[in-house]
Chains A and B, each alone.
Chain A
Amino acid sequence: MSLGTFLIMRHELLLIAAALSVLIAEIFWDPDKKKGISLFSIILFGVITIIGFIPSPSGSLFGGMYISSGTTLLMKNILNIGVLLVFIQSVTWLKKEENSEKISEYFLLLISTLVGMNFMISAGHFLIFYIGIELATIPIAALAAYDRYKNKSAEAGIKLILSSALSSGILLYGLSMIYGTTGTLYFSEVAKLFGNNNLQILGFIFFFAGMAFKISIVPFHLWTADVYEGSPVNITSYLSVISKGAAVFILIIILFTVFPVIIATWQKTIYVTSVLTMTIGNLFAIRQQNLKRFLAFSSISQAGYILLGLIGGNQLGMASVIYYILVYIFSNLGAFGVVTAISNATGKENIDDYNGLYQTNPKLSLIMTLALFSLAGIPPVAGFFGKFFLFTAAAQKGYYLLVLIAVLNTIISLFYYLLVVKAMFINKSENPVEKFRSDFPTRFALGICIAGIVVTGFASIIFEAIRNLSFGV
């Protein structure tokens, strides 16, 4: 084993180096020009994102505790793209006076959560998985409480840290049962020793409940809306896209590689939770007035659709889940980008405030419309293809009733997405959001989101590439 072997974990090493250089830059940077740290961190992270695409050998390290394969590299690259977009979107917000002291903290904490997610995705042992999942949640709680002088932000922070602590406690209790019955925590060995033992199934249920907290699946979704509303908008977009995406990735890897023996059990679990998640997420989204709460419930229902891809345990299912997350990153970050831009310029976050937005800011309204259409799954945009593949994957295994329920839910979701579109285009307002021109980073990020929504939908090569790297049970 030479030093070169460690290049297998290139993604993590680079991110740790980036986090440390941001920390060092904070110490030596000229105190009057602290705003330059944003540019420095974004360029650093952009370089890492590009390096991530260089093909890398797959293999395992630390006696099989860390596994790197084509699939994990793909997942990490998708997450990198999403985080880069979040970084670019947050520049305007970080320029504000109240944040000038804490710019480097923002980048340091977000990069460390990303390190956690990467370790979690590459885990080959439950210990690495557990450390990764904690590293991915603890810093994000500190970030949810980032606006120190706002009551709501502090409240969101405590709600996030306490519910994630409870969820990891439940998850660990399940893991302890799995350890007790199999005597090992390596993914490969647990998979071999797993049977239909009752205690093992109970352990799996606890484990699944813990993961359901992280992905905010009903009935474990109650923290989501509050945390999303209270956190700063950029943190909310990070939580709803990156954290959720990473948790879905690791859930699908663990279900397919560690628990293939009890596939009949987890299919039933996913069936019930998926129906509940879609329906309850959609019904609650209808009555929301605050756009962040609205997008929170919309992201809960999106998690329900994603579960449809998991249920079959087939290769197409895994490919469609990864593809859907990619599309979801672009569309949700597009929607959040518009919310961020308007919130930064005017401080308004309610749907009523968007009345007549098309008259004053036509470009932003069009981007929002496209992003919402993609979330709803209207044909020409990528969201349609994403949903189409998810539903196909479930239908391939004969879950016709479930697909029917999902399609009905899509219609409900169309209703509330169109409510926002109606507010922007049709509703009249006495004092609409005044005309403003957003600065370069915001426009750049929104441009990438729009390009992503269109390109990922039409370039079939992307789906084919993802499909070749996926695997079934």
Chain B
Amino acid sequence: MNSGIPIQYFLILATIMFFAGVYGFLTRRNLITILMSVELILNSVNINFLAFNRYLYPHKLEGMFFSLFIIAVAASEAAVAIAIIINIYRRFTTINVEDVNELKF
């Protein structure tokens, strides 16, 4: 492999991104920021796929294709989520999750 950076660096970066995303998802109070955290998780998965593909299985492109599809699906997910967030803003005039709490135990 001609690349100078060992694969571990990519995997560690992806792991940090994944858990930063999960942490953000659980602690953030703004719906847009929560959506950004989900994107962080999906991008960490992309890095994982690409690093594995490039370093371990360079003769096949399955990982590359998978990450392309993840990007496309994440975009459509974000589109629907943002549409719903706009609707929430019209209903509640806020996008803070603590104020969007009509449903509870």
Contacts and interface: CB of A to CB of B under 8 A. Distances in A.
Contacts of A157: 84, 87
B49 A158 contact: no
A156 B88 contact: no
Choose among A158, A166, A176, A179 the residue with the greatest number of B CB atoms under 10 Å from its CB: A176
Interface in B87-105: 87-88, 91-92, 100-105
Interface string B57-87: 1001011011001100100110011011101
Interface stretch (A180-188, A342-350, A416-424): A180-188
A185 B66 contact: yes
Nearest to A182: B57
A127 B85 contact: no
Contact of A184 (B62, B70, B73, B101): B62
A471 interface: no
Interface stretch (A2-10, A138-146, A385-393): A138-146
A152 B65 contact: no
B83 A138 contact: no
B102 A152 contact: yes
Contacts of B34: 162
B45 to A, nearest CB: 4
Contact of A138 (B14, B77, B104): B77
A173 B73 contact: no
A52 B54 CA distance: 43
Contacts of A176: 14, 45, 48-49, 52
Nearest to A186: B62
B16 to A, nearest CB: 13
A230 interface: yes
B60 A183 contact: yes
Nearest to A158: B84
Contacts of A161: 77, 80-81, 84
A172 B45 contact: yes
A327 B42 CA distance: 37
Contact of A169 (B41, B62, B83): B41
A155 interface: yes
B35 interface: yes
A115 to B, nearest CB: 15
A180 B44 contact: no
A166 B41 contact: yes
B52 A180 contact: yes
A170 B65 CA distance: 19
Interface in A162-217: 162, 165-166, 169-170, 172-173, 175-177, 179-180, 183-185
Nearest to A134: B73
A134 B85 CA distance: 19
Contact of B103 (A141, A142, A180, A229): A229
B70 to A, nearest CB: 6
A73 B62 CA distance: 28
Nearest to B14: A176
Contacts of A172: 42, 45, 70
Contact of B38 (A151, A154, A162, A230): A162
Nearest to B89: A154
A335 B82 CA distance: 34
Contact of A166 (B38, B48, B56, B76): B38
A127 B66 contact: yes
A411 interface: no
A399 to B, nearest CB: 32
A281 to B, nearest CB: 14
Given A169-B42, A169-B45, A184-B62, A158 B91 contact: no
Given A134-B73, A169-B21, A154 B48 contact: no
B84 A173 contact: no
Given A173-B41, A173-B48, A176-B48, A183 B56 contact: yes
Interface in B13-53: 14, 18, 21-22, 25, 31, 34-35, 38, 41-42, 44-45, 48-49, 52-53
A6 B77 CA distance: 29
A165 B56 contact: no
Given A142-B83, A158-B84, A179-B66, 19 more contacts: A150-B91, A152-B103, A154-B87, A157-B87, A158-B31, A158-B85, A162-B25, A165-B81, A169-B18, A169-B21, A169-B38, A169-B45, A173-B48, A175-B66, A176-B48, A180-B52, A184-B60, A225-B103, A226-B103
18 contacts: A127-B66, A130-B73, A138-B76, A152-B102, A154-B92, A155-B88, A162-B31, A165-B38, A166-B41, A169-B18, A169-B42, A172-B70, A176-B45, A176-B48, A179-B49, A180-B48, A180-B56, A185-B62
Interface of B: 14, 18, 21-22, 25, 31, 34-35, 38, 41-42, 44-45, 48-49, 52-53, 56-57, 60, 62-63, 65-66, 69-70, 73, 76-77, 80-81, 83-85, 87-88, 91-92, 100-105
Please give me the 3 A-B residue pairs with the lowest Cβ-Cβ distance, nearest first.
A169-B41, A176-B48, A180-B52
